[in-house]
Structure 1
Amino acid sequence: MSALLRLTATETRLFFREPMSVGFALAFPPLLLVIFGAIPSFREPDPDLGGLRILDLYAPIVVAMGITMFAMTGLPQQFATYREKGILRRMRTTPVRPAMMLGAQLLMSTLLSVVTMLVVLALGRLAFGVDLPRQIPAYLVAYLLSVLAMFAIGLLVAALAPSGRSAGAAGTVLLFPIMFFAGLWLPREAMNDVLRTISDFTPLGAGVQSLQDATAGHWPSLPHVAVMLGWAIVAGGLAARYFRWE
């Protein structure tokens, strides 16, 4: 455990040496919430949304984006780069096995995504009056299931990509449809039946709805939990099957 924590601290220091990565992963989601909050129509209650504001719908989407930034851009690119440069192969000759590096990366990404989530929730509440989750245990369950599903997909990209550059490109390409069905461009409440059904079967479509349910004081529905677990199991299993250390 001490080795894992030391390696996590080292990976975190390396992460913060890349200003572009830090800004994109940590600063962009809160900045996006501020941009949405600056739009007057987003701050007005909408009778069609049961009195909610559009901004209230976007807060969980921005939280989900914080997860996606790490899962689809940072994690796969870093691992594919380490494999491409032979770092993972050389680690096999040391007491720190490559699997330890995997654990450190996952732990770092999870912790930093939690920081982003807390910043978004605090900013939304203090600056724009967005409600905090009424059902905190349900919110944490929904968040962790979203993390599991998205990180499993990120590891699958890392397993299949031949290089760090291709992993970064593939993750970026996947980010757009994943975030579309999460409701970034069109909130799930405004989607037609076909789009919403597709969204329900995507990892972040189910994740965002679960976060919204927890914010309203409800537990995630079993179908959405099953979708997130399904993505985590299938993508994680494929990642384990095809992952190459060298």
Structure 2
Amino acid sequence: MNTSRKPAPMPLAPTPALPFNPAVLKAELRLFRREPGAHFWILLFPTLLLVILGSIPSFRQPDDSFGGLRPVDAYVPVTVLLGLIVGGLQSMPQTLTGYRERGILRRMSATPVKPSALLTGQMVMYGAAALTSSLLALTVGRLAFDVTLPRQPAGYALALLLTLLAALALGAVISALSRTTKVAGAIGSAVFFPSMFCAGVWMPVQTMPHGLAAAVGYTPFGAAAEALNQAAAGHWPGWGHLAVLVAWIALLTGAAARWFRWE
């Protein structure tokens, strides 16, 4: 009789929770598709604003106050930034704060899917929506109003990516500071309107007085507007503007990591 036994199998080490989970992203996308308000304000509103402005006859004529550009040309980078601002500062913070307020993040911490996967999924989803909005604004500007596409596409893409990261990091800070969705909406609105001003929604950077334009250039969206304008004109974005964006990304990411709580 053979009494030899097979060695007991070694226990498997627990699979570490990954910061990115495709299943979580798929679920978040499904929920996002059920939010028509988010579709409008992130994806459609910036392009709709461009169409309204471009439909004004005077906006399709060269203007010396815009450096010889047509106003519609100057507003394309503004509408490109607008989708990033709406997605990062308004939509994402209220969604994340709502999850924390309802205890969803706390319950997820007891499962193999960690809350960080949800945070990553939110950033990927809203980042993709914001970039789609930017591409839509560029496409409509080109097809409907003959706006020249960026002459320095690599520099334009770099500036746009850095701006997206800054917007998402700022949204994460708003989420970290907000205990309820109402507070997130209030803080988001308080930051949203100055950000739109710095991006040039009411007054493109080219038309601002020199002192104001210089001051706005130290804000994330003011620096982004300058960088996008330079890339659109065929120049590499100024390293100073890119450095401002990188500094804001580092500062806001550190603040969000320091203050963010899962419950």
**Smaller-chain TM-score bracket:** over 0.9
Q: Which residue of 2 is the match for residue 128 of structure 1?
A: 145
- Structure 1 residue 210: Cα displacement: 0.8
1:47 equivalent to 2:64? Answer yes
Correspondence for 2:226 among 181, 204, 209: 209
Q: Distance in 2 between matches of 1:192 and 1:2?
A: 45
Matches of 1:191 and 1:235, distance apart in 2: 27
- Which letter maps to 1:95? P
Which has the higher mean CA deviation after the structures are superposed, 227-236 or 48-57?
A: 48-57
1:227 paired residue number: 244
For structure 2, the 5+ residue unaligned runs are 1-17
Q: For residue 127 of structure 2, what is the aligned residue in structure 1?
A: 110
User: Given the superposition, is the C-alpha separation of residues 194 and 51 from structure 1 closer, same or farther in structure 2, using an over 3 Å criterion?
Assistant: closer
What secondary structure sits across from 2:21 in the alignment?
helix
Verify: 1:196 aligned to 2:213, yes or no.
yes
Which of the two has higher C-alpha Rg? 2
Q: Which moved more, 1:196-205 or 1:7-16?
A: 7-16
Match of 2:117 in 1: 100
The answer to whether the 8 Å contact 1:42/1:55 transfers is yes
Shift in Å, 1:148:
1.1
1:159 to 170, 173, 176: 176
Counterpart among 231, 236, 239 of residue 253 in structure 2: 236
Distance in 2 (CA, whole Å) between partners of 1:107 and 1:126 is 28
Q: Is 1:18 aligned to 2:51, yes or no?
A: no
User: Hey, what does 1:27 align to over in structure 2?
Assistant: 44
- How far did 1:142 drift? 0.3
The answer to whether the aligner puts 1:119 opposite 2:119 as a matched pair is no
User: Residues 48 and 194 of structure 1: is their aligned pair in 2 closer, same or farther, counting only changes over 3 Å?
Assistant: closer
Distance 1:9 1:131 in 2: 36
| Equivalent position amino acid for 1:96 in 2 | V
Greater shift in the superposed pair: 212-221 or 43-52: 43-52
C-alpha separation in 1, matches of 2:240 and 2:141? 28
Residues 181 and 198 of structure 1 are in contact (CA less than 8 Å); yes or no, is this contact kept in structure 2?
no
Are 1:186 and 2:203 matched, yes or no?
yes
What secondary structure is seen at the aligned counterpart in 2 of 1:217? coil
4+ runs deviating over 6 angstroms: none
What is the identity, as a one-letter code, of the residue corresponding to 2:37?
Answer: M
8 Å Cα contact 2:20/2:121 also seen in 1: no
CA separation of 1:119 and 1:200: change in aligned 2, threshold 3 A: same
Q: Where does 1:53-64 land on structure 2 (aligned, <5 Å)?
A: 53-64=70-81
Matched, 1:147 2:164: yes
Distance in 2 of aligned mates of 1:130 and 1:241: 43
Q: 1:3 Cα deviation (Å)?
A: 6.2
How far apart in 2 are the matches of 1:49 and 1:73?
30
Aligned residues: 246
Instruction: For 1:34 and 1:89, locate their aligned partners in 2 and report how far apart those are by CA, in whole Å.
Output: 44
How much is the aligned-residue C-alpha RMSD, in angstroms?
A: 1.4
Checking the alignment, whether the CA contact within 8 Å between 2:65 and 2:207 is kept in structure 1 is: no
Greater fraction helix:
1
Distance 2:20 2:196 in 1: 35
- CA shift, 1:114, in A, is 1.3
Tell me how far apart the structure 2 counterparts of residues 218 and 139 of structure 1 sit (CA, whole Å): 9
Q: What residue in structure 1 maps to residue 21 of structure 2?
A: 4
- C-alpha distance in 1 between matches for 2:38 and 2:67: 38
> Shift of residue 2 of structure 1?
11
Percent sequence identity over matched residues? Answer: 44
